[in-house]
Chain A
Amino acid sequence: MAVASIQVSETPLVLYTLRRADDALILGHRLSEWCGHAPAMEEDMALANMGLDLLGQARELYGYAARVEGNGNDEDKFAYLRDVRQYRNLLLLEQPNGDFARTMVRQFFYSAFADLYWRAMMKSGDATLAAIAAKSEKESAYHLRHSSEWIVRLGDGTEESHRRAQTAIDDLWPFTGEMFEVDDSERALIDAGIAVDPASLRPQWLQTVSDIVREATLALPKNDWMQQGGRSGRHSEHLGHLLSELQSMQRTFPGATW
Chain B
Amino acid sequence: MVIAMFDDAQLRQRAWDVAATVVDPEISVLSIADLGVLRDVAVRDGQVEVAITPTYSGCPAMNMITLEIELALEREGFRNSKVRTVLSPAWTTDWMSEEGRRKLAEYGIAPPQAASSRRALFGVEQVECPQCGSIDTEVLSEFGSTSCKALWRCKSCREPFDYFKCH
A, B co-complexed: yes
A interface secondary structure, majority: helix
Indicate whether A148 reaches chain B with its CB closer than 8 angstroms: yes
A134-B87, A134-B89, A145-B123 known; A60+B142 contact, CB < 8 A: no
Would B57 and A57 count as touching, CB distance under 8 A? yes
Residues from chain B with a CB closer than 8 A to the CB of A54 are: 58
In the complex, per-residue mask of B87-123: 1 if CB is within 8 Å of any chain A CB, else 0: 1111100000000000000000000000000111111
B92 nearest CB neighbor, chain A only = A138
Q: A141 to B167, alpha carbons, bound, how many Å?
A: 10
A41 nearest CB neighbor, chain B only = B141
Indicate whether A101 reaches chain B with its CB closer than 8 angstroms: no
Would A135 and B87 count as touching, CB distance under 8 A? yes
Residues from chain A with a CB closer than 8 A to the CB of B60 are: 52
Would B58 and A130 count as touching, CB distance under 8 A? no
Would A132 and B87 count as touching, CB distance under 8 A? yes
In the complex, per-residue mask of B136-167: 1 if CB is within 8 Å of any chain A CB, else 0: 00001111110100010000000000000101
A40 nearest CB neighbor, chain B only = B141
How many B residues touch the partner, as a band?
20 to 34
Q: Which B53-88 residues have C-beta < 8 A from chain A?
A: 54, 56-60, 86-88
B interface secondary structure, majority: loop
Contact of A56 (CB < 8 Å), options: B56, B120, B121, B143: B56
Residues from chain A with a CB closer than 8 A to the CB of B147 are: 49, 52-53
Indicate whether A45 reaches chain B with its CB closer than 8 angstroms: yes
Would B121 and A135 count as touching, CB distance under 8 A? no
Contact of A148 (CB < 8 Å), options: B58, B118, B122, B165: B122
Indicate whether A66 reaches chain B with its CB closer than 8 angstroms: no
Contact of A131 (CB < 8 Å), options: B90, B142, B167: B90
Indicate whether A243 reaches chain B with its CB closer than 8 angstroms: no
Would B143 and A45 count as touching, CB distance under 8 A? yes
Indicate whether A14 reaches chain B with its CB closer than 8 angstroms: no
Residues from chain B with a CB closer than 8 A to the CB of A114 are: none
Indicate whether A196 reaches chain B with its CB closer than 8 angstroms: no
Beyond known contacts A42-B143, A53-B57, A139-B57: 7 more, CB 8 A cutoff: A43-B141, A60-B87, A134-B89, A134-B90, A142-B143, A142-B165, A145-B121
| 11 A–B contacts from the bound complex (CB under 8 Å) | A42-B140, A42-B141, A45-B141, A45-B145, A60-B87, A128-B87, A130-B88, A131-B87, A132-B57, A134-B89, A146-B142
